[in-house]
Amino acid sequence: MLSDREIHTILGDLNLVTSNAKEPFRPNEQIQPCSIDLRLDNVFWLPRWRNPIDLRRARLLEMQPRRYYKRVTLQPGEHLTIQPRQLVLGRIYEEFTVPPGYSAEIIGRSSFARMGLMIHCSDGFINPGWRGHMPLQLVNFNSSAIRVFPHLPICQLRIFKLTSPSEHIYGESEIQSKYMSDDGGPSYWWRDKRIKRLHKALGEVNVALDIQERLLQRISPQEPEILERLERHLDRLNVSELNSADFLLESFAKQEDKRRFRRKFLLNIARATCPLFLTIAVGSVFSQPWSWWHCAFAAATLLTLPLSLYAFHAEVGDHFGQKELTNSATEPEAA
């Protein structure tokens, strides 16, 4: 493990870079006896998945690899609250390189561990040749919420001298590195060549690569919810139907149009329900004598009021029907 003296000698090779001139890397403050204090960046990814994460499936994730996460960038003076048992993905503020002939390791600081904040799960090791913003998995094991903010000195970098130069370094094509020039964001687990081999052994039927490429060109800019519905649509199709991008998109567009129609129909009914009961209730005031049905219409008006208010504010939502399919075909040509 390198001491502070040796760390100073390879600072040029580590190439520590920051994006904010007001918060540069400060060697005299951040270099410790045998480590470097590194800080928390202002970029976070908040998980927003609702369904189980099925590691047996990797189909179409390349269309929008991070659709299960919401990226948040804090402005100066803002903070992020991590609730008990919540996972938040963050990254290190300093971008750096691990030079050939060395490896490195990220470790959390004891000060934060003592308050129940885990800094990373299992990705602390860094291969020679890697460069980027090292990712952090922030998990709050405390019973109270914890607020974090940018440039917090949250972890340490330890550097090791290899006993001999490695045959390959991270980023070379031979080892198919997934995280070169890493931005510290969510996982690309399905790109691992060993996982691809496991998927093949499990018998997962994937859409052919050329068809995936066509789907990517036509539908990738869409919202995450649309991509999730497309994936579920493909799961329901037979293997023989997965050989044409045009067929897949046409069948999906028809399904989306039906879904949009049902959504509009239900919203219109909900919007009309309360005004209808209100009109009947007001009209019944002039009908004498009063009876139980006067009270029934008044109660129905009150009960349907929240539903109608919700329907008036709700939107039909994004869909990828025939209209959007046609537009996606013409946009590349116009560009």
Q: Is the peptide bond before 289 cis (omega within 30 degrees of 0)?
A: yes
Q: Using CA atoms, how far apart are residues 214 and 125, in angstroms rounded to an integer? A: 37
Reported as a pLDDT band with limits 50, 70 and 90, residue 83 is very high
Q: Which of 202-211, 219-228, 264-273, 310-319 has the highest mean pLDDT?
A: 264-273
What type of residue is 177? S
Tokens 């934060």 found at? 112
Tokens 């239900």 found at? 266
Predicted TM-score of the model (pTM):
0.59
Class of the domain covering 4-190: mainly beta
Query: Helices 292-313 and 245-284 sit at what angle, rounded to 10 degrees?
Result: 140
Q: Using CA atoms, how far apart are residues 29 and 301, in angstroms rounded to an integer? A: 67
Give the residue with greater pLDDT, 164 vs 318: 164
Q: Which residues, listed in sequence order, are joined to residue 35 by a DSSP beta bridge?
A: 32
**219 by DSSP, 3-state: which?**
helix
Break the chain into its structural domains and give their ranges. Answer: 4-190, 207-335
How do residues 249-298 score in pLDDT, each as one tens digit? 788 888 888 988 988 888 888 888 777 766 766 666 666 666 666 677 67
